[in-house]
Structure 1
Amino acid sequence: MPTLPRPNPMAAGADGRVIRADNLDVLPTLESGSVTLIYLDPPFNTGRVQRRQGTTAVRSAAGTGSITGFKGNSYDRIKGDLLRYDDAFENYWEFLEPRLLEAWRLLADDGTLYLHLDYREAHYAKVLLDALFGRESFLNEIIWAYDYGAKAKTRWPTKHDTILVYVKNPQGYYFDSETVDREPYMAPGLVTPERAARGKLPTDVWWHTIVSPTGREKTGYPTQKPEGVLRRIVQASSREGDLVLDFFAGSGTTGAVASALGRRFILIDQNPEAIAVMQKRLPAATFE
């Protein structure tokens, strides 16, 4: 697939920018269609009332006032039905919705969004993203399964997160599985020695441990995600030189991985603790 020309919103000579701000203040200043890959790991339903922004329709023709979703229903109708179903969801989606609208605008035509959520919000987000991006733009539901955490005894222990993957253009998105690090076969004796040595391509279920409390990756940031998970995402859905955006940047894992793989990046976070961690982790980045 040919490389598409795209705007370059990076500062001259800089491979990475880290911006301390409310992401909703920064996102409208970035150029439409300039980002190949967006990874988002937002707070898991904070329950706080957040600042609202108008719900501009991004998939509709000018003046239509709604986003046509699956089965001919409008985006507003689908959202309203879900809000009536569960009042507790309202504040969270009011927080997340305007940021996802900006994500859609910023994605290049061949771009991809990875939205990282837990089990409490993923089902709501899937329905709303089907309406917002279009159901045909849904690419995958990735299950990241891990092996540490609480040991529930009154239900099945929760040991996974969900990553929803949507593309801007289902006929022209970039994806290259051959660049992704392979993983061991679970039954290597059932394949040839050559195939066993090479490993197999990952599926939509990713077994990967959380960041070890004593490992080299550990930054001390409470919601830090492992580099192995982000590495797989960046490898598959961006090329060298492409721009990667994370506007819930946290510990800066997205930037660290993007930089190591030769991608440019923009990270946004308003938490001073996150900025302090990223200053140590990403010393070559430009901080604003």
Structure 2
Amino acid sequence: MPNAWSQTSPSRVIHADNLSVLPSMPDEAFTLIYLDPPFNTGRKQKRQSTTSKRTVKKDGAHAVGTITGFKGQLYERIKGDLLGYDDQFEDYWAFLEPRLIEAWRLLADDGTLYLHLDYREAHYAKVLLDALFGRESFLNEIIWAYDYGAKSKNRWPTKHDTILVYVKNPTAYYFDSSTVDREPYMAPGLVTPEKVAKGKLPTDVWWHTIVSPTGKEKTGYPTQKPIGILRRIIQASSREGDWVLDFFAGSGTTGAVAAALGRRFVLVDQNPESIAVIKERFALLPDVEFVDEP
């Protein structure tokens, strides 16, 4: 990441391995971090180098912390128990853990992390994040439910993702549900016409279709997430002018929505296909800088 990066910099799209550029970003620079890491369907991910270590500072009760976790020995014990229970998960967590530690450092004191996972990883990640970030920093488990794709006949079809929500400071985080787009009541006959017209605030279960393969929103990127999902997240957990970070940028939906809502953003992805899609998608956006890191 160029040394000239600051809070007054233009929004940026960085072509790089995220772990190589995150350490150069300033502490507590982002109000919102949304992460949609590769789902661990194959269980094999690129590990952090065993010679690369970073120390994370945290005040008060969490003063001692390194890459072994903000919770010290408690975190190490829980991690060891879980990874011993399912040693196939160990490689994925070794990939994800150093990036989550960087995410915590980069979050502003009033900041929020949204970690988007599927059912294979969410239960492990929840326990580990409770120990890593602090259980008091857990805000929500959001279920994004959809109904599209193949239908299983030998089990209940899997039609949801999980988004784990953690805050940096549980007594000072920013959240404003009044700015979020409302949705229709599922039983409008049970509420007043005024409430029907206004709509209701979303709960922690979000019914939202996936990006249609034939819709105008589609970019062609295989793991693209819907604008509606990111819009809800960015509306609630950031203000106009705040910085938003997504270091598994994919199709660039986080940046597209952040720009439309008046936020500034940094996107990082090492996949050339991702960067090509984002460049095409952002062709008309002003003040976006593209950076290639070695």
Q: Using structure 1 for the length normalisation, give the TM-score.
A: 0.92
Which residue is equivalent to 2:255? 255
Q: Which amino acid aligns with 2:26?
A: E
Q: Could you tell me how far 1:56 is from its partner in structure 2?
A: 4.0
Unmatched tracts of structure 2, length 5 or more: none
Q: Could you tell me how far 1:50 is from its partner in structure 2?
A: 2.1
Within 5 A, what are the aligned runs for 1:211-230?
Answer: 211-230=211-230
Which residue is equivalent to 2:29? 34
Q: Which amino acid aligns with 2:31?
A: T
Q: Could you tell me how far 1:48 is from its partner in structure 2?
A: 3.1
Which residue is equivalent to 1:21? 16
Distance in 2, matches of 1:64 and 1:27, equals: 16
Which residue is equivalent to 1:286? 289
Q: Could you tell me how far 1:43 is from its partner in structure 2?
A: 0.3
The one-character-per-residue Cα deviations of 1:82-109 (angstroms, maximum 9, x if unpaired) are 1111110011000000000000000000
Q: 8 Å contact 2:112–2:166 — kept in the other structure?
A: yes
Change (3 A) 1:80 1:58: farther
Change (3 A) 1:190 1:63: closer
Q: Which amino acid aligns with 1:43?
A: P
Q: Using structure 2 for the length normalisation, give the TM-score.
A: 0.90
Q: 8 Å contact 2:137–2:169 — kept in the other structure?
A: yes
Distance in 1, matches of 2:193 and 2:85, equals: 53
Which residue is equivalent to 1:119? 119
Q: Could you tell me how far 1:61 is from its partner in structure 2?
A: 2.3
Within 5 A, what are the aligned runs for 1:124-203?
Answer: 124-203=124-203
Which residue is equivalent to 1:105? 105
Q: 8 Å contact 1:68–1:74 — kept in the other structure?
A: no
Q: Pick which of 42-51 and 77-86 moved more.
A: 42-51
Q: What SS does structure 1 have at the residue aligned with 2:170?
A: coil
- What is the root-mean-square deviation of aligned Cα atoms in Å? 1.8
Q: Which amino acid aligns with 1:61?
A: A
Distance in 2, matches of 1:58 and 1:224, equals: 34
Q: Could you tell me how far 1:58 is from its partner in structure 2?
A: 4.6
Distance in 2, matches of 1:155 and 1:42, equals: 26
Which residue is equivalent to 1:61? 63
Q: How many residues align?
A: 277
Which residue is equivalent to 1:50? 47
Q: Which amino acid aligns with 2:63?
A: A
Q: Which amino acid aligns with 2:90?
A: E
Q: What SS does structure 1 have at the residue aligned with 2:79?
A: helix
Distance in 2, matches of 1:18 and 1:228, equals: 21
Unmatched tracts of structure 1, length 5 or more: 1-7
Q: 8 Å contact 2:144–2:206 — kept in the other structure?
A: yes
Distance in 2, matches of 1:58 and 1:141, equals: 26
Q: 8 Å contact 1:112–1:165 — kept in the other structure?
A: yes
Q: Which amino acid aligns with 1:232?
A: R
Distance in 1, matches of 2:281 and 2:118, equals: 26
Q: Which amino acid aligns with 1:237?
A: S
Task: Confirm whether residue 84 of structure 1 aligns to residue 84 of structure 2.
Answer: yes
Q: What SS does structure 2 have at the residue aligned with 1:101?
A: helix
Identity of counterpart residues, as a percentage? 75
Q: 8 Å contact 1:58–1:101 — kept in the other structure?
A: no
Distance in 1, matches of 2:66 and 2:246, equals: 31
Q: What SS does structure 1 have at the residue aligned with 2:217?
A: coil
Q: Which amino acid aligns with 1:54?
A: K
Q: Could you tell me how far 1:214 is from its partner in structure 2?
A: 1.2
